[in-house]
Copies of this chain bind each other. A is one copy, B any other.
Amino acid sequence: MKSAQQQLAEGILFTDEYQFTMAQMYFRMGLHDKPAQFDYFFRGYPDYGGHKAGYCINAGLEWLVDWMRAARFRREEIDCLRGQTGRGGRPLFNADFLAWLEKSGHFDALTMRAVPEGRVVHPNVPLAVVTGPLAIAQILETSLLNHLNIQTLIATKAARIHDICGGRLIIEFGTRRGHGKGVTAATRAALIGGAHFSSNVGISHVLGFPPKGTHAHSMVQAFLAMGLSELDAFRAFAETYPDDCVLLVDTIDTLESGIPNAIRVFEELRRRGHAPVGIRLDSGDLAHLAIQAARMLDAAGFPQTTIVLSNELDELSIWQILTQIGQEAARNGLEAQPIIDRLAYGVGTRLVTSAGAPSLNGVYKLVALRRDGRWIPAMKLSDSPSKIPNPGDKRVHRIYDRRGKATADLLAGKDESPADMREIVLRHMTEARLQRTLRRAEILEIEPLLAPVLAEGRTVYEFPPIEAIRAVRQADLERLDPGVKRLMNPHIYHVSLSEKMWQTKQKLIASMRANLPRASAAPA
C-alpha cells in the first residue's frame, strides 16, 4: 500500500460501511444529533483452548484517542463516499448528508469515560462509555473496537506470560509473524502487559524503550559459507559488542559446537576485561539444553551469564520448561532455582497473535438515548440471556474485601452510592437465584473504575507513560485473588448488578417481551 492510500485506509474511513448508511438514515430522519450512549465491553475472557484467562489487562485507550483526534473528513474521503452507488445506479449518499459529514463528521463532540490502561478488567464491565450525537458515536464503533480489542487481548496474554516467568526478563520478538502493521499495537500492549522490551526497533523508539536483539542463525551460516567457522562468527560478534555479547548457539549443534565455542569467546572477552552477557537457545529440548548450558557455563566460570530461551514460547510452554528443569536438574547434580533465575525469554508469535484466542469478543452497544430531556435505556433482546446487554447509564465500582483483594465489580446506576449502603446486594448478571450480600464491615474499599477521558471532545485525561501503566497493572494484579490468576481453571471473578440495576433490566426485558406483538403491529 502506498502512503496516500494508507492515509485513506487508516483515517476516518477506517470503519464499516454500515456506520455511514445508518448515519445517513439518521440524518434524513433528523435523529443524527440525538444524544446517545454506547458501552464498550467484552463478553468473555480469552479461551486459549485447554486454558483460559481469569482476568484481562485493559489497553489501547491512548492510541484510540490519538486516532479520534486525527480522524477527519478531507476532500478525498468525501469523494469516496460520493462515488458510491446503489443497485439502481444512483449515488448512495446524498449531497446534504455529505456536506454535513464534511462539516461535522469528526469526534470533537464526543464525551468518553473509560477504565484506565493497565487495569485488571472483567467481562460485561463497560470499559469505555461514549456519549454524543447518535450518528457520530455510531461511526466511531468499528475503530474503537479495533483499537481496544487488540491491545486488551495482547496485554492479557503478556500478563499471563509475565506471571509464569516470575519477573525474569521477557523480550517481545513477534514482528515477523504479527498481523501486518498492527503488530505495533500488539507490541505496545505486550509492553503494558508484561514484556520488558521488544525487538522491534521503530515502535520501541516511539514508546521510549531501547530495542533488544543480538544476532540470527544467518550470521553463523554466512561465516560458514565464507569458509570460516562458528567460532569466527562468535569472535567477530564479540569484538563488535564486547559488553553486550549474547551468542545464539544452535546453528550447528548446541552442546557439541555452540556452547563450547561461546565459552571460548567468553574466556577471551574476560581476558580483555569484559563481562559476557549470555547465550540464546532457539531449538530443541529447551529445558534439557538450559540445564546442560548452565552446567557447562558454571564449569567454565560463567555462572552469571544469562540463558535466553526462544522458539514458539507462551505461558504453557514456559510452565512446562520450568517444571521440567525442576524435575531434571537434580538428576544432573544441579539445583533448579539458580538455573531458573538466570533464564530470560524471547516470546514472539504466540504472544503477538494471542495464539489459541486471536481475538477478543469486545462489543460496542447502544445503551441509552436521550429523549425529551431524559435518558431512555436502550435494549436488545436475544435468545441467549448472557448476550442481553445491561441497559442505561452505569457506574462501575470495584469492591475490595478486608484482605484488600478485589472481590467483585458492581455495575450500578449513576444515582446509586454503594459506599453509603449498609449492605450491598450483588446480583448475578442473568441468574435470578444467584446473589450475595456484602455487609459494610466486610468491605475495605469501594473504588470507581471509570475516569473522564473526553469532555465534548476536549481531552480531560493525562495519558500516563507505559512505565506508569505497568505499575497500575502490577498493583491491580497484587490485589487479585491468586485463584483468579491461575493459568488454568481460574476462579470466576464476580461481575454483578446492583439490586436496582437488576430490577431495571428485568422490567425492561419484560416490557419489551410484552410489547412484542403490539410493537411490531402498532404503527401500521
Q: Chain A: residues with CB nearer than 8 A to chain B?
A: 1-3, 5-6, 8-11, 13-22, 24-26, 28-29, 31, 34, 36, 38, 49, 63, 66, 70, 80-81, 84-88, 90, 92, 134, 138, 141-142, 145-147, 149-151, 173, 175-186, 188, 199-206, 210-222, 224-232, 236-237, 239-241, 243-244, 250-253, 256-257, 260-261, 264, 277, 283-284, 349-350, 353-355, 358-362, 365-366, 368-369, 371, 376-384, 387, 512, 516-517, 519-524
Residues A142 and B381 in contact in the complex (CB < 8 Å), given A184-B180, A205-B13, A240-B28: no
Whether the Cβ atoms of B218 and A17 lie closer than 8 Å is no
Measured CB to CB, the closest approach of chain B to A353, in angstroms, equals 4
For A380, list chain B residues within 8 Å (CB). 217, 220-221, 251-252
For A520, list chain B residues within 8 Å (CB). 229-231, 252, 256-257, 260-261
For A516, list chain B residues within 8 Å (CB). 252-253, 256-257
Contacting residue for A359 out of B222, B225, B251, B353, CB 8 A: B353
Residues A2 and B175 in contact in the complex (CB < 8 Å), given A18-B213, A519-B257: no
6 chain-A/chain-B pairs, Cβ below 8 angstroms: A8-B205, A17-B213, A22-B219, A81-B201, A177-B361, A229-B522
Whether the Cβ atoms of B225 and A15 lie closer than 8 Å is no
* Closest chain B residue, CB of each to CB of A239: B28
Whether the Cβ atoms of A183 and B384 lie closer than 8 Å is no
For A70, list chain B residues within 8 Å (CB). 2-3
For A36, list chain B residues within 8 Å (CB). 222
For A381, list chain B residues within 8 Å (CB). 251-253
Whether the Cβ atoms of B14 and A200 lie closer than 8 Å is yes
For A284, list chain B residues within 8 Å (CB). 383
CA distance in complex: A253, B381 (Å): 7
Q: How many copies does the complex hold?
A: 2
For A231, list chain B residues within 8 Å (CB). 519-521, 523-524
Residues A236 and B29 in contact in the complex (CB < 8 Å), given A21-B214, A66-B2: yes
Whether the Cβ atoms of A523 and B355 lie closer than 8 Å is no
For A31, list chain B residues within 8 Å (CB). 222, 226
For A243, list chain B residues within 8 Å (CB). 86-88, 90
CA distance in complex: A368, B5 (Å): 36
CA distance in complex: A25, B138 (Å): 53
Contacting residue for A178 out of B5, B182, B211, CB 8 A: B182
Whether the Cβ atoms of B379 and A519 lie closer than 8 Å is no
Q: Give me the 9 closest cross-chain CB pairs, A-B, nearest first.
A: A182-B182, A180-B182, A17-B213, A18-B213, A13-B202, A179-B179, A180-B185, A358-B358, A179-B182
Whether the Cβ atoms of B222 and A9 lie closer than 8 Å is no
For A14, list chain B residues within 8 Å (CB). 175, 181, 200-202
Can you name 12 extra interface pairs (CB under 8 A) apart from A17-B201, A147-B180, A180-B182? A1-B206, A3-B70, A9-B205, A17-B204, A19-B213, A22-B218, A80-B201, A182-B182, A225-B366, A225-B368, A229-B520, A252-B519
CA distance in complex: A141, B219 (Å): 13
For A138, list chain B residues within 8 Å (CB). 216, 218
Measured CB to CB, the closest approach of chain B to A195, in angstroms, equals 14
Contacting residue for A20 out of B25, B26, B201, CB 8 A: B201
Residues A1 and B184 in contact in the complex (CB < 8 Å), given A205-B8, A222-B378: yes
Whether the Cβ atoms of A224 and B379 lie closer than 8 Å is yes
CA distance in complex: A188, B151 (Å): 22
Whether the Cβ atoms of B225 and A378 lie closer than 8 Å is yes
For A176, list chain B residues within 8 Å (CB). 16, 141-142, 145-146, 149, 362
CA distance in complex: A38, B222 (Å): 11
For A360, list chain B residues within 8 Å (CB). 177
For A19, list chain B residues within 8 Å (CB). 213
Whether the Cβ atoms of A178 and B146 lie closer than 8 Å is yes
